[in-house]
Amino acid sequence: MKRFSGVAVVLGALGLALAFALWWIPSSDFIFTPDEAKPLAGKVTVEGARPGGTGDVYYVDVFVRRIRLLERLLPFTRPDGSTVVDEDVLLPPGTSDAQRDRQNVADMRRSEQVASVVALRALGYDVRATPRGVLVSSVAGDVPAAKVLDPGDVIVGIDGTPVKTPTELRAEIGRRKPGDEVRLAVRRGSRSREVRVRTVPSPADPTRPVIGIQVDQDASIELPIDVDIDLGDVGGPSAGLPFALEIARMLGRDVTDGCRIAATGELALDGTVLPIGGIQQKTYGAREADVDFFLVPAGENATDARRYADGLRVVPVESFQQAFRFLTTKNLKC
């Protein structure tokens, strides 16, 4: 009996050691996990600020890391609300973790600038923002465009038609069919060139053509007042909407009505709210912070957010202007 007991102890210890090792050994793919929504108060500084009303604007973020082998083997060890993402989705072939991190920082800086433009224009400020083209922020590794486009390229035309905004590019691509070839005029640094790419079916709608890139706005921006936003090591473009709302709040507009307002969504220069990733995790994060309302991009993002809302009031918005009207013209009843 003692001998059997000793063997059991040894096997148990070995099992714990194996589990511990598997917990710390990373896999090749990634996992998205929720992060509790946080208020922007103190993180956005605006020249001449005079904050309006009570309540707070919250931003939501997602933890992104390599999934551990134990989590890969035993799904119940993963955090609630997490999603496993293939490495190729986040890191196209030839892209390193460090390059991805740098791209996220650059995306955040552009998000801050665009949010400042959108908010200040809505408040009547004279803002100079001149679109210069469509910035390629990432390229899927399994599409024809991956052979000729790189992050940092700026698309300025398609089949001879000038394009200066992501909306214009999407409209031109939408006139084609999956499998059609298009000519893109591209600016790379100080050089211009023309490349040919073939469209592919959208994963969400096989009848809709895409070229498999994530894009942002390249623009020359001059703000009439200083705006500074500091979220530390948080990156990516999806906090544009809460940034713009907080800038409006800092300049005297009551966009909270005493409530806790969480928001997510990338902004275009015209105020359009663009879809974002990680909506499941961000909805969990908004719930964890016990916010009163969660503003999200209309469409698929809103549908998914409602799926995970569990009583959280989800508000779909198509533009900053729509979000601003909703928050400033209604009794929110927190």
Q: Answer yes or no: do 88 and 56 share one domain.
A: yes
Residue 286: name the closest of 302, 267, 268, 266 by CA: 302
Does some domain include residue 2? no
191 Cβ partners below 8 Å, 6+ apart?
Answer: none
Does some domain include residue 1? no
Q: Answer yes or no: do 171 and 254 share one domain.
A: no
* Euclidean distance between CA atoms 26 and 275, whole angstroms: 30
Q: What total number of domains does the chain contain? A: 2
Q: Tell me, what's the pLDDT at 11?
A: 44
Q: Tell me, what's the pLDDT at 39?
A: 95
Q: Answer yes or no: do 231 and 324 share one domain.
A: yes
Residue 218: name the closest of 263, 123, 272, 151 by CA: 151
Among the candidates 182, 199, 220, a domain finishes at: 220
Q: Tell me, what's the pLDDT at 105?
A: 77
**Pseudo-torsion of CA 230, 264, 116, 233, nearest 10°?**
20
192 Cβ partners below 8 Å, 6+ apart?
Answer: 156, 185, 186
Q: Answer yes or no: do 147 and 293 share one domain.
A: no
Does some domain include residue 12? no
Q: Answer yes or no: do 305 and 177 share one domain.
A: no
Q: Tell me, what's the pLDDT at 16?
A: 54
Q: Answer yes or no: do 43 and 111 share one domain.
A: yes
Task: Give the HSE-up count for residue 175: Cα atoms under 13 Å, Cβ half-sphere.
Answer: 9
Burial class (CB in 10 A: 0-12, 13-18, 19+), 212: buried
Q: Answer yes or no: do 186 and 308 share one domain.
A: no
Residue 251: CATH number of its domain: 3.30.230
Q: Answer yes or no: do 188 and 318 share one domain.
A: no
Characterize the bridge pairing of strands 273-274 and 266-267.
antiparallel
Does some domain include residue 102? yes
Among the candidates 160, 192, 220, a domain finishes at: 220
Q: Answer yes or no: do 263 and 318 share one domain.
A: yes
User: What is the block-wise mean pLDDT of the chain (334 residues), using blocks of 10 residues?
Assistant: 51 49 65 92 91 88 86 85 80 68 79 93 92 88 89 93 92 94 93 94 88 88 92 84 96 93 93 91 96 96 96 96 92 80
DSSP letter for 230, please.
Answer: -
Exposure b/e, 12-34, CB count within 10 A at least 16 = b: eeeeeeeeeebeeeebebbbbbb
* Euclidean distance between CA atoms 127 and 119, whole angstroms: 10
Q: Answer yes or no: do 121 and 132 share one domain.
A: no
Q: Answer yes or no: do 117 and 229 share one domain.
A: yes
Q: Record the tokens describing residue 296, joined without a space.
A: 């999200």
Domain of 170, in residue numbers: 128-220
* Euclidean distance between CA atoms 78 and 23, whole angstroms: 11
Residue 192: CATH number of its domain: 2.30.42.10
Q: Answer yes or no: do 199 and 258 share one domain.
A: no
Q: Tell me, what's the pLDDT at 26?
A: 64
Q: Tell me, what's the pLDDT at 94?
A: 62
Sort residue 326 into left (φ over 0), alpha (ψ -120 to 50) or beta.
alpha
Beta carbons of 219 and 129 less than 8 angstroms apart: yes
pTM of the model: 0.81
